[in-house]
Structure 1
Amino acid sequence: MDDILFISDTSDGQNWGCYETSRQLRNLLLESVDIQYTVFLNEIRDPIRTTVPPSLSDVQYLIGESSKIFESSSPIYRRFLDHGLRPAKHVFDIYPRVMDQFENKSELFLKSKLFGKYFPDPGNIDQVVINGEGSIHGNRIKSRILLFFAYIWRVKLDKPTHIVNHTLQIDTPELKEMIKVIYPQLNSIAFREPISKLEYHSKIGDTNNTIQAADTAWLLDDCLTKTDLNTILRQGGMSVWHPTEIQPSFDFTDRYVCVSGGSGFGHGKEDSEKIAEIIRSLLDNNIDANILLVAPAQHDEHILLRVAEGFNLPLAKVSNNSLVGASIIGNSELYLGGRWHGSIFALLNGARLVNFKANTFKMRGLKDMTNHPYQIYPSQQAGNKADEIAKSVISGLDKSIGDGQEKMIKSLQSMSRKNLDGVREDV
């Protein structure tokens, strides 16, 4: 079997979905290849750094950024910070910010000690699999580092390289240029929802290396029952926070809805208040179900703790493992939230959905894949639309899931396995 370098294993992510996706993806890989070495998510988010002498491409990058000082409408101090001081610092970074820097900086990276720290025994690698979960978008560190590593392994080292299981939103000129150069050279590109594939082909062009797949989290098929959850909570195996109860109680066999935040929300009190307005409206309209706040991600926990305290509600914390978290959401009557994986966990077990928009178009992509007629509300307007959202939740409790749910799940599970079609072809 081929030896694989697995880049961006998200098992160390503060997110139920990150963990479950990588758990399933690793299992899928091990069916046909050996994982020789893994680079984990937080090594991508907070990369080891070193300084290098600037090259001509770095100087050109600095000049290009400096010109934006006079074009931007931001306050003058922001312009000098974003387009002057920071770019001046970046030219000494070994990692590129724009496509023109990739060639020189990749040569420097290959000669540096960092290459050996990230990739020990490179001669033993047959193929490289990069987990793009959740999204490649914007000018974020994670997006740039993943594409830089893809460039090094595919272009410089000529190894079969694949980016799988991801959403791609081409939303900046810098990212578009990177995608335009790197993606056509990859051996396979597997998208987890259809909008990304359409976006790639419409903005970059037709290439024969794209695969319409689905998120590997769809392969989770062993959710716990309501009775199991009650037992785990009673025995202290579940992390639930309550503002007034040291040992919180909750009966999972009763009707309940799960409420979370999502990547479209910020971290401030105003974001807590948006969720609070919805909870207030649900209670004012006498919702016929208990309310359980859930934090599938660390981000959600920050804003939901305030909501839990304000309404004396229990909060299932992010520290629960992904199986418990998925089962909590899946056994609910309805999941209200903006989490991609939280929504998958709901659908896998027959729970209904009302969604918030995320920081990319992925929630719309999920709706297109599943063909479910649920509502998706803008996260930033959640407070203003609290009554409308609450009515959607209450009316959704009694809606039929409809026929074809089991067939849809089997189809998406089959598509999940397509993430590695390109890897299997190169074995």
Structure 2
Amino acid sequence: MFVDMRLLYAPDTADHPNWGCRFMGDWYRQALLGLDGVRLRRLGSRWFFSGDSKVPAPLTWPDLQAIARDVREGRSEGLADVLPPLAGCDLVFMNGENFIRPGTLKGRRLLMLAYLAKAVFAKPVMLVNLSLDLSEPALAELVAQVLPLLDEVHIREDVSAAQYRALVADARFLQFADVGWTAAPAPLAAWRALAGRSGHFNAWPDHCAAFDAGQPYVTVSASSAFAHAGPGGDPSDAFIGLCRRLAAEIAQVVLVAPCEVDAAIMRKVQAATGLPLLGLNLPVAQGIDVLGNARAHVGGRWHPGIFAATGGTPLVAIGANTHKMAALMQQLHPGEPVFDARGLAGQVDAIVDRAKAQLAAGPELRARLSQRAAEMRARVAGSLAFVEARLAAARAEIQAPSRPT
């Protein structure tokens, strides 16, 4: 029996060059399209952090209530692109990711869209794969008012879950692992020869020198902590020093630029050192292969840390723009440090020592991390059950015999 569920998927983060965004966007889109009966419409992530001043972004709960009132009364010029899809869908499926944090437009617009879908258009709403930074009181109030209204909320790590429980009495949510845990690095034997081929990892505008993947190597990325100017200035010099030490004392180094911020930093590191660089526009699957077969990964990016762990690669964590690297270390290496991104130059010795210790732990550590990654992958299963249940209910309603009048 044919069911036609019009599902609005927002944001589809695959329109962003960040490796994690591309992986998540593709994963959810493919998984949703794989459900029989789903007709998908997408809203890309760019709308959520657009600089267009006509698109509202509520700073406070009263602001959001006023926006909803304007929509009900037909005064919604800045939302003309999103209101018809909201009105015309049967379900809104939202990938929360790391949007809800202080100082961003996208988190407030995510909450606005969820609230309008529920309070104005009475749509079922799922908010999945979510991390939360509730350190800003006005943002925390928006979360406290909006999330309890939604049909299902999925939080992906324990720190955010604890913050939400502390904010909302009897908070209703489920915990599922990030879909990044479903990544599957190709075995080294499948691509090691290609890594030595000139140009194999080139991804415009970046050029990656060939490297011998058959020999031990360490991958290094930067961090979301550098998205905005802060104390310590340009971190490139600190990364140059760190990478030279890692290359001299541990193994060859492969630079990784999984986001625009990292690309700006790692291009400077490459210019100074000549090290191979996996560029921003590299196919994500190739990046996962390299990360998952490294001897260690050093960096402050959530998804690259996960991608590395799916192949058994240990993580030396640098801090990020929220608690997420601390949360990831709880999942992978409980009790191990997260190094301060802004104080990187003064921590090179400690980071190198940590990487040496992880390499010395050898196959036993890799096996333990691979097992942990498998456990996390299993915790992704069932994350689309709400959509599947709605589809099943729609089929049952169609199949039910009509009563005579």
- TM-score w.r.t. the length of structure 1 is 0.82
Q: Which residue of 2 aligns with 1:275?
A: 239
Q: Which residue of 1 aligns with 2:153?
A: 189
> CA offsets per residue over residues 152-173 of structure 1, 9 Å max, x none?
0011111111111011110101
Aligned residue for 1:292, secondary structure, equals strand
Whether 1:261 and 2:222 are equivalent positions in the alignment is yes
Distance of aligned partners of 1:424 and 1:369 in 2 relative to their CA distance in 1, 3 Å threshold: farther
Checking the alignment, whether the CA contact within 8 Å between 1:239 and 1:316 is kept in structure 2 is yes
Alignment of 1:38-187 (within 5 A): 38-46=42-50, 48-50=52-54, 94-109=56-71, 111=74, 112-187=76-151
Alignment of 1:304-383 (within 5 A): 304-371=266-333, 374-383=336-345
Cα displacement (A) at 1:360: 0.8
Checking the alignment, whether the CA contact within 8 Å between 1:329 and 1:345 is kept in structure 2 is yes
Aligned residue for 2:325, secondary structure, equals helix
Cα displacement (A) at 1:113: 4.7
The gaps in structure 2 that reach 5 residues or longer are: 392-405
* More divergent stretch after superposition (120-129 vs 191-200): 120-129
Distance 2:21 2:94 in 1: 14
Structure with the bigger RCO (C-alpha within 8 Å, sep 6+) is 1
Distance 2:96 2:184 in 1: 23
Letter in 2 for 1:252: A
Q: Which residue of 1 aligns with 2:397?
A: none
Distance 1:359 1:202 in 2: 21
Aligned residue for 2:58, secondary structure, equals coil
Q: Which residue of 1 aligns with 2:395?
A: none
What is the number of equivalent residue pairs in this alignment? 380
Q: Which residue of 1 aligns with 2:209?
A: 248
Whether 1:6 and 2:13 are equivalent positions in the alignment is no
State, as a whole percentage, how many aligned pairs show the same letter. 25
Match among 178, 182, 194 for residue 231 of structure 1: 194
Distance 2:209 2:48 in 1: 37
Distance of aligned partners of 1:207 and 1:395 in 2 relative to their CA distance in 1, 3 Å threshold: closer
Letter in 2 for 1:200: Y
* More divergent stretch after superposition (301-310 vs 174-183): 301-310
Whether 1:18 and 2:21 are equivalent positions in the alignment is yes
Distance 1:47 1:128 in 2: 24
Q: Which residue of 2 aligns with 1:77?
A: none
Q: Which residue of 2 aligns with 1:420?
A: 384
* More divergent stretch after superposition (309-318 vs 416-425): 416-425
> CA offsets per residue over residues 13-62 of structure 1, 9 Å max, x none?
12111101121122232343624311101111116543xxxxxxxxxxxx
Distance of aligned partners of 1:242 and 1:352 in 2 relative to their CA distance in 1, 3 Å threshold: farther
Cα displacement (A) at 1:180: 1.1
Distance 1:157 1:233 in 2: 55
The gaps in structure 1 that reach 5 residues or longer are: 51-92
Distance of aligned partners of 1:389 and 1:247 in 2 relative to their CA distance in 1, 3 Å threshold: closer
Cα displacement (A) at 1:197: 0.9
